[in-house]
Amino acid sequence: MRPVKRFVSRLKWPAVLGILTVALSGCGNYFSSRASVLAPAGPVASRELSLIQISLYIMLVIFVVVMGLWGFALIRYRARRNDTSAVSASTGDTRLEILWTVVPLLIVIYLTVLTVQTEFYLTRRPNPTTSLQVSVTGHQFFWQFDYPGLGISTIHNLYIPVGEKVNLTLTSADVIHSFWVPELAGKTDAIPGYHTYMWLEASRAGSYFGECAQFCGVGHYNMHMTVIALPPAQFQTWVKSMQKKGAASGTAWALERGPLPVSS
């Protein structure tokens, strides 16, 4: 029991921050999942996570300062028996009020700069001649991927080469959906009547779980996909085999219908 108490008494803010850092970096059973924002596998998700982390740390400092003032006021100024002293007659303090207007303003300006930089980085579309183009169509309740330059279509599975930027053009065949592969990139909505754009890149080979994030009807909970990132050579092999399959069936398009990932 005693060592536990000693541990608790030694628990200081750096330690708490440390624990949170470990938690946020994806270690530990209680902070990992099949599709975690905290375990990025590409530059887009990494940039997004670092923005999340920086803002979280700044916000934690603010939280500690505000809660410190709050806790101090609650304890120090609680009404006590037999205390006949007068309450403070203060009705305001211009210097203090300027301070707690200007400091948050400066923090917000700093966060704004980070936000705008990241926003422009993430929405800058890769050069269409050097990057893979994929058209994504949301359906109730599955995802369809068309590779217009390659004559390939897939359902449920999006194949991409590792280390290359993939340019996605999204739309929907029915209602609004939202394309989300947490380990690779944040969301973009697929909206009927519109084309929206995003790009993503996988830094290492693997399969990444993806979901529809915008409520789209009774099958919304089960509208999943898998992004399969292959090393470039293997990706080329896959493209060739698909095209051969298409030629064999006498159509210009080869369709692969993958298994629906994770049925509940």
Query: Residues 55 to 114: which contact other proteins by CB under 8 A?
Result: 55-56, 59, 62-63, 66-67, 69-70, 73-74, 77-80, 83, 87-88, 90-93, 96-97, 100-101, 104-105, 108, 111-112, 114
| Distance in Å, CB of 7 to other proteins, minimum | 22
Q: Among 149-157, 179-187, 232-240, 249-257, which window interacts with other proteins (CB under 8 A)?
A: 179-187
- Residue in the structure block whose two tokens are 């921050």: 17
Number of residues that bind other proteins (CB under 8 A): 93
Tokens of 224: 């999943």
Query: Residues 36 to 55: which contact other proteins by CB under 8 A?
Result: 36-38, 45, 47-49, 51-52, 55
Closer residue to other proteins in complex, CB, 51/255? 51
Query: Residues 220 to 249: which contact other proteins by CB under 8 A?
Result: 220-221
- Residue in the structure block whose two tokens are 């690779």: 184
Q: Is 213 in the site for other proteins (CB under 8 A)?
A: yes
- Residue in the structure block whose two tokens are 């470990």: 22
Applying CB under 8 A, among 143, 159, 209, 235 the residue interacting with other proteins is 209
Residue 173: how many CB atoms within 10 A of its CB? 12
Q: Can you tell me the distance from the alpha carbon of 216 to that of 77, in angstroms, rounded to the nearest whole number?
A: 52
Applying CB under 8 A, among 20, 175, 205, 255 the residue interacting with other proteins is 175
3-state SS assignment for residue 81? coil
Q: Can you tell me the distance from the alpha carbon of 66 to that of 57, in angstroms, rounded to the nearest whole number?
A: 14
- Looking at residue 163, the DSSP 8-state letter turns out to be T
Cβ contact 111:119 at 8 Å: no
